[in-house]
Amino acid sequence: MNEKLLAGKHLWYFEYYTGGDVGLFMKIARMVHSEQTPIQRIDIFDNPTLGRVFALDGITMTTDKDEFMYHEMLAHVPMFTHPNPKNVLIIGGGDGGTLREVLRHPEVESVVLCEIDRRVVEVSKQYLKTGEAFNSDKVELVFENGAEYVKKIKNQFDVIIIDSTDPTAGEGGHLFTQDFYRACFDALKDGGVMCAEAENALYDFNWTKIAYRRIKSIFPVVKAYVGFMTTYPSGFWLYILASKGLDPIKDYRFEAARAMSQQLKYYNEELHKACFVLPNFVKRTLEESL
């Protein structure tokens, strides 16, 4: 990056975490793009340490430096739990990062990515490395509220990945309702697997509990897992895997996961199991939430 840009310290980004009294700040070395869409505010800027940063409504979605942590954990745990994930639905994920990970799987024949905000996909293609995933022929883009879209689909997908923004931002709240999770269940084929990002264990743990309880009421197998996501609030991210029967620990494809992990930066075949070992307070809180 240009040295003079690095020297300035007059433009800053502040992400206020839920509660409003703690948050992350980042220097803006260069403002790349800023836009108010009908749905939300998009900001893209460069930070000397984190590289390009992408934010929606003042909430960090991706940074060059660490987006792999989130996208690998969100995608590969359900993808390797399913024995043969041919048809995949990604709800949200307009930056393309989850899509990139899904497309690594050779079994995949088609991916529908349902993003509520067309502009997110457009700016990602223009400004973000993750946006390169949209070049694949296997991808079908649907620009619609994910909760509306999934209601219309029955028995079609092997894996559904919910890569939503925060429930408090933009239209993210629609993706945390019981109706939505039920519609996902119905949209999955027999043997299907769903995975949802489920917020963090410090500032938004209540949303984790809500999502866990609601998904538990619909799916027979539900397990939470954890992963580091260093620029998300607290760095301590939760995911919920649900299936119509498959167990993510007993049934996952260990050898395939081991083979792919060579090309990955975070996920590997051992982590697939280890990530389901929860710290006590997480385990207890989720149990009590039922």
The answer to whether 146 is a known ligand-binding residue is yes
**Contact status, residue 221 vs residue 243, Cβ threshold 8 Å:** yes
Which of 109, 142, 154, 274 forms a contact with a copy of itself (CB under 8 A)? 274
Torsion of CA 167, 173, 177, 181, to 10 degrees: -80
Between residues 145 and 261, which has the closer beta carbon with respect to a copy of itself? Answer: 261
**Contact status, residue 114 vs residue 187, Cβ threshold 8 Å:** no
287 binds a copy of itself (CB under 8 A): no
For a copy of itself, the binding residues in 29-68 under the rule CB under 8 A are 29-31, 34, 36, 41, 43, 47-50, 55, 57-58, 65-66
Closest CA relative to residue 279, chosen from 215, 234, 217, 231: 234
Which of 24, 141, 221, 249 forms a contact with a copy of itself (CB under 8 A)? 24
Which 3 state secondary structure label does DSSP give 87? strand
64 among known catalytic residues: no
Check 163, 186, 204, 251 and give the catalytic one: 163
Site string for a copy of itself, 201-230 (x = CB under 8 A): xxx----------------------x-x-x
What is the rounded CA–CA span in Å between residue 61 and residue 231?
A: 9
What is the rounded CA–CA span in Å between residue 135 and residue 257?
A: 25
**Contact status, residue 42 vs residue 120, Cβ threshold 8 Å:** yes
Interacting residue ranges for a copy of itself, rule: CB under 8 A: 2, 4-5, 8-17, 19-31, 34, 36, 41, 43, 47-50, 55, 57-58, 65-66, 69, 200-203, 226, 228, 230-231, 234-236, 261, 264-268, 270-271, 273-275, 277-281, 283
